[in-house]
Structure formats: structure tokens, C-alpha cells
């Protein structure tokens, strides 16, 4: 059995990690910890775990001691805090970091967008970007995974076949994304207060969302188009979970929709968690509580414009499910192990 620890168990991603790992046939959750609930029973913060998870939050006083006897540790912590922990435990255990601290390959860009000095720049370039459909072999051989952001996962998977095959013109990629409120985290805030979000729908952080450089980094790496622009517009929806991204690109030829679907079918043919949909456009409900990413394509008018639609569950494929998918690869397990469940419907 893989002995696992989770640091950062008070939020939604931590709760989902507990749920997924509890049912994983090859994992034993040995220890859990957080910054704020030391010595508390886990079910005191997550009531749905009552009579199921009988564990005490060990706190973060001594990360080095926490990882003793562990094979892997998941960090579900805010940016800045996660890298402080990595600095203390790197080399002692395999690490899957769900924060943004190791996702970017340029330290200056990280510090500019996140407004903090990185706690362990010596490990910055050691991390592998944990999108299995792109970096599967690298993930198998690393001890530090930078789990991707939720919005970037939906956008990168939606565009990657086009970019890898150099089928778009160098210009602006427009990604219009909508997320459920769980993407804003569990901590109470005015903008997620029920009277504010209910029967409401709004854009936020236009032109300055911190996932923008992460999206651009991977799109440029795939395409080689150094001058590619990413216009990313996130929105908050009055629903609990899910992300729907509608992405607009200009193709460099007038490809038929049949050829485009064949391209996507061929590219993702062996990817269990990516479903190319011809039957209907992706919907958040059709991937809810699952590790699937659904992708659909629509030609716009008679020109070379293409609309790509992708849907994921922000807490599963966008966070904790993808983290478990990465863990499976790191330990040589079948990639679907413990996460090949169907979406919750209706």
C-alpha cells in the first residue's frame, strides 16, 4: 500500500483528496495536517466524513517529522505556503503540489504575477507540470509534481491538438471560462456570499487572472508561437462545481469540421479521461464529480474560425482527481486506478 499524507485538509480540494484516496485500492491515508485545525478530528471541519474518517489533524509544526514513513504527500495549500513546505521535505518523499508554486518555468514571471518571493528557487526547475495527457513519461520519473490549475486544464486540453499540429495562426487565443463557486475556495468572502452569487453571473480579474501565464506557457510550448496572446476571461456562476471553457481561435487553413474531429479523435484516442463529443456540446453536469474532460468543436461561419468547448469538474480533473492520476503514474499503477468512476447525474 502507498502510505499517503495530505497537508491542507480544511479546503475543498483537501476534502476531495480524502474522499478519493479513502476509496483508492492501493492507498492508505496515514496522516493529515492543516495550518489552522491542529488536534481537531477531520469530521469537525468536514461533516460528511463523520463515522468514516477517524483521523486527527496533526498540524504543520514539523513537516519533516510529518513525512516520516510516507511515500507521497499532497500539498493542498495556498501559493507561497506550499513552497515553504517543499523546501523542508524535498528529497524525503514524493510531492504532489496543488498550489501554483511550481507550475511556471520562469521564476521572474511567477514572482511578478503572484507578488511573493519564491521560498525555494533551487527546486523551481525540478518540478514536472502534472498534466498527464501531455507529460506522462516525465511524471513517472519525478518526485515533485506541479498539479495544474483548473482553468488551465480545461483550456490546454481543449487546444492542444491544434497547437501541437501547428494549425492556428499566431495571434490571440480567446478563452471565456465559467466556474462554479467552489473554485473560489471554502473561506467565506463577500463575492461568494449566497445573496451575492445567487441569481448572479459575473466576470472577474479580467486581464490579470493568475492562471493566464500558466495557460500561455503551455500553449506556447505546444505551438512554438512565441507571440501567441492569451486573452483569458474567467466568470463565476451560481453553481457549486464545474468549469465550462469556450475558446476561440483562427485556423491557418479552412479545415473541415470532419477533419478537425478526426484530429481530436486520433490525438486523444488512448486517453481515457478525455472524451471528444460529437453527440452534443460539453456540459458541466455531464462531467460532474468525475475526472473526465469533455471537448466539442464548432466551426464559426464560413471562415477559418473555430470554437472549442471543454468541460471539467474543477475539484476533480481540475485539482484532486488529476493529483491522484499523477500519483498513479508516479507509482507505476494503472492510470485510472481509484478514479475511473462515472460522473454524478443528474
Backbone phi and psi for residue 269, each to the nearest 5 degrees, phi listed first: -55, -40
Domain boundaries, the chain: 2-126, 151-313
Chain mean pLDDT for the chain: 95
Mean pLDDT, rounded, for 4-14: 96
Copy the grid coordinates of residue 54.
Answer: 477517524
The pTM (predicted TM-score) of the whole model is 0.97
Given a cut of 80, whether residue 302 has pLDDT beyond it is: no
98 CB burial (10 A radius; 0-12, 13-18, 19+):
buried
User: What is the per-residue pLDDT across 251-291, written as a single tens digit (0 to 9) for each?
Assistant: 999 999 999 999 999 999 999 999 999 999 999 999 999 99
- What's the CA gap between 294 and 274, in Å, rounded? 6
Q: What angle do CA 336, 342, 346 make, to 5 degrees?
A: 160
Q: Are 57 and 66 in contact (CB under 8 A)?
A: no
What percent of the chain is modeled with pLDDT above 90?
91
Indicate the pLDDT class of residue 207, thresholds 50, 70 and 90: very high
Contact, 204 vs 189, CB < 8 A?
no
Q: Does domain 2-126 have CATH number 3.30.1490.20?
A: no
Domain 151-313 -> CATH class? alpha beta
The predicted model gives 190-206 an average pLDDT of 92
For 220-236, write each residue's pLDDT tens digit: 999 999 999 999 999 99
What are the residue numbers of the active site? 150
Q: How far apart, in whole angstroms, are the C-alpha atoms of residue 284 and residue 59?
A: 35
Give the CA diameter of the chain. Answer: 63
- Per-residue confidence band for 188, with pLDDT thresholds at 50, 70 and 90: confident
Residue 338 has pLDDT above 80, yes or no: yes
Amino acid at each position: 500500500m502507498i502510505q499517503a499524507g495530505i497537508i491542507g485538509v480544511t479546503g475543498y480540494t483537501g476534502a476531495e483528496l480524502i474522499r478519493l484516496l479513502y476509496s483508492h485500492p492501493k492507498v492508505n491515508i496515514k496522516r493529515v495536517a492543516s495550518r489552522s485545525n491542529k488536534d481537531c478530528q477531520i469530521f469537525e471541519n468536514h461533516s460528511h466524513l463523520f463515522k468514516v474518517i477517524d483521523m486527527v489533524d496533526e498540524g504543520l509544526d514539523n513537516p519533516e517529522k510529518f513525512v516520516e514513513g510516507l511515500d507521497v504527500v499532497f500539498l493542498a495549500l495556498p501559493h507561497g505556503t506550499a513552497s515553504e513546505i517543499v523546501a523542508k521535505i524535498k528529497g524525503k518523499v514524493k510531492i504532489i503540489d496543488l498550489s501554483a508554486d511550481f507550475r511556471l518555468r520562469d521564476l521572474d514571471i511567477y514572482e511578478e504575477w503572484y507578488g511573493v518571493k519564491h521560498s525555494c528557487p533551487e527546486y523551481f526547475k525540478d518540478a514536472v507540470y502534472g498534466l498527464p495527457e501531455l507529460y506522462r513519461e516525465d511524471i513517472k520519473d519525478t518526485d515533485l509534481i506541479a498539479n495544474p490549475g483548473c482553468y488551465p486544464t480545461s483550456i490546454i486540453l481543449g487546444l492542444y491538438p491544434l497547437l501541437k499540429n501547428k494549425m492556428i495562426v499566431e495571434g490571440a487565443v480567446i478563452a471565456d471560462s465559467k466556474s462554479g463557486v467552489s473554485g473560489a475556495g471554502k473561506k467565506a468572502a463577500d463575492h461568494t456570499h449566497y445573496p451575492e452569487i445567487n441569481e448572479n453571473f459575473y466576470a472577474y480579474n479580467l486581464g490579470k487572472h493568475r492562471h493566464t501565464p500558466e495557460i500561455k506557457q503551455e500553449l506556447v510550448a505546444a505551438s512554438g508561437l512565441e507571440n501567441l496572446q492569451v486573452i483569458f476571461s474567467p466568470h463565476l456562476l451560481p453553481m457549486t462545481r464545474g468549469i465550462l471553457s469556450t475558446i476561440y481561435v483562427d485556423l491557418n487553413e479552412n479545415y473541415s469540421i470532419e477533419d478537425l474531429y478526426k484530429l481530436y479523435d486520433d490525438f486523444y484516442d488512448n486517453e481515457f479521461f478525455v472524451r471528444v463529443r460529437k453527440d452534443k456540446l460539453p456540459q458541466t453536469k455531464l462531467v460532474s464529480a468525475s475526472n473526465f474532460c469533455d471537448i466539442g468543436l464548432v466551426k464559426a461561419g464560413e471562415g477559418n474560425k473555430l470554437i472549442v468547448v471543454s468541460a471539467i469538474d474543477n475539484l476533480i480533473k481540475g485539482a484532486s482527481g488529476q493529483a491522484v492520476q499523477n500519483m498513479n503514474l508516479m507509482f507505476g499503477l494503472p492510470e485510472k486506478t481509484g478514479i475511473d468512476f462515472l460522473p454524478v447525474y443528474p
